[in-house]
Amino acid sequence: MGYGLQEINFIYAGGLIHDGMWAALKLLEKDFTINYNGKGKADFTLGWGGFNSAVDKYVRDQAGPKGLCIGGNAFPPEDVFDYDVLFYETEWYREKIDTHLNIYHAFGINSDIFNKKRRKKIFDWLGVGAFASWKRWDKMTFRKGRRLVIGHYQLNNEDESIGIIKTLLRGGVMVSPAVPSEELADLYRASKNVYIPANIIGGGERAIWEARACGCTVVVEGDNAKLLELVENEVKDHHFYYRQLLKGIRSCL
């Protein structure tokens, strides 16, 4: 943080992990004073969350310039113009907000952690994502070889998560709770393939680029155009993420 810098209140839910967003924000601290979940007066308010989320609802109510890094696939409400700038992750989603005149592609992985290093291959298939129905982890049971799924347990939907974990275990698939970014990167490097069978609302964007950055072959389902885009397009890192955030924020100040 520097003396006399303009201030940003960055609003988010849950904890920050060492992903591309976190790394981009650390770079942004050269240009602004960032108050993490700060509730005081600031020159700009930036939220990370889906439309209609608690973050979205809070940021909309703030005075002054504001922006949203859109997480999730909720379609934008009619009052999307409450925001001075919007940041999107995929070209697939860009089409949902292209009526807004100030939008930026801002997404990337933390390349300080997720990168190619030599590592003995242990797993034939690795899956990363919450134990939730929209991740479609039952499809992992049809893959052959040594398989592992790493994910968050849904505290607000325990029965569903337990059922998915049971299905995986019965199918001979190993399971693990979520792990820190550094450990996750090592598991990517230890895997031949990464499989993200999520449906269109099931996330998986960050996992695909992180896995590719670590040298994995990534497989998704053909009915998910959003994830197919990320399998095919160039992987961006946190430096790109930072530059796009900086341009978008400065356009409002």
pLDDT in tens, 202-236: 899 999 999 999 999 999 999 999 999 999 999 99
**Distance between CA 239 and CA 111 in Å, rounded?**
9
- Residue 187, CB half-sphere, CA atoms under 13 Å: how many? 22
Together in a domain, 213 and 135:
yes
As for how many domains the chain has, the answer is 2
Question: Strand, helix or coil at 175?
Answer: strand
Together in a domain, 128 and 143:
yes
* Residue 213 structural domain: 123-232
Residue 1 inside a domain? The answer is no
Q: What is the DSSP letter of 8?
A: E
In angstroms, the first-to-last Cα distance of the chain is 19
Together in a domain, 74 and 156:
no
Backbone angles phi, psi at 128, to 5 degrees: -135, 125
Q: Domain of 138: which CATH number?
A: 3.40.50.2000
List pLDDT tens digits, range 188-207.
Answer: 999 999 999 999 988 999 99
List pLDDT tens digits, range 104-161.
Answer: 999 999 999 999 999 999 999 999 999 999 999 999 999 999 999 999 999 999 999 9
Residue 114 inside a domain? The answer is no
> Is the Cβ–Cβ distance between 128 and 150 less than 8 Å?
yes
Together in a domain, 69 and 129:
no
Give the relative orientation of helices 205-213 and 225-232 as an angle to the nearest 10 degrees: 20
Residue 174 inside a domain? The answer is yes
DSSP output for 16-50 = PPSSHHHHHHHHHTTTSEEEET--S--SEEEEEE-
What does pLDDT average to over the chain?
95
Together in a domain, 127 and 220:
yes
**Distance between CA 181 and CA 210 in Å, rounded?**
10
Contacts of 85 (CB under 8 A, 6+ apart): 65, 67, 102, 103, 104, 248, 249, 251, 252
Residue 117 inside a domain? The answer is no
Residue 147 inside a domain? The answer is yes
Specify the amino acid at residue 1: M
Contacts of 157 (CB under 8 A, 6+ apart): 132
Together in a domain, 100 and 147:
no
pLDDT of residue 75: 78
- CA distance to 131, 134, 204, 228, per residue, from 175 (Å): 10, 17, 17, 25
Together in a domain, 36 and 101:
yes
pLDDT of residue 1: 42
Residue 82 inside a domain? The answer is yes
> Is the Cβ–Cβ distance between 226 and 91 less than 8 Å?
no
Together in a domain, 222 and 146:
yes
List pLDDT tens digits, range 87-98.
Answer: 999 999 999 999
> What is the 3-state composition of the chain as percent helix, strand, coil, each rounded to the nearest 5?
35, 20, 45
Residue 87 inside a domain? The answer is yes
pTM, rounded to two decimals: 0.94
Together in a domain, 77 and 130:
no
Q: How many CB atoms lie within 10 A of CB 167?
A: 15
Q: Which residues pair with 36 in a beta bridge?
A: 10
Specify the amino acid at residue 217: T
Together in a domain, 100 and 128:
no
Q: What is the DSSP letter of 64?
A: S
Residue 78 inside a domain? The answer is yes
Q: Residue 2 pLDDT > 50, yes or no?
A: no
Together in a domain, 100 and 133:
no
Together in a domain, 90 and 135:
no
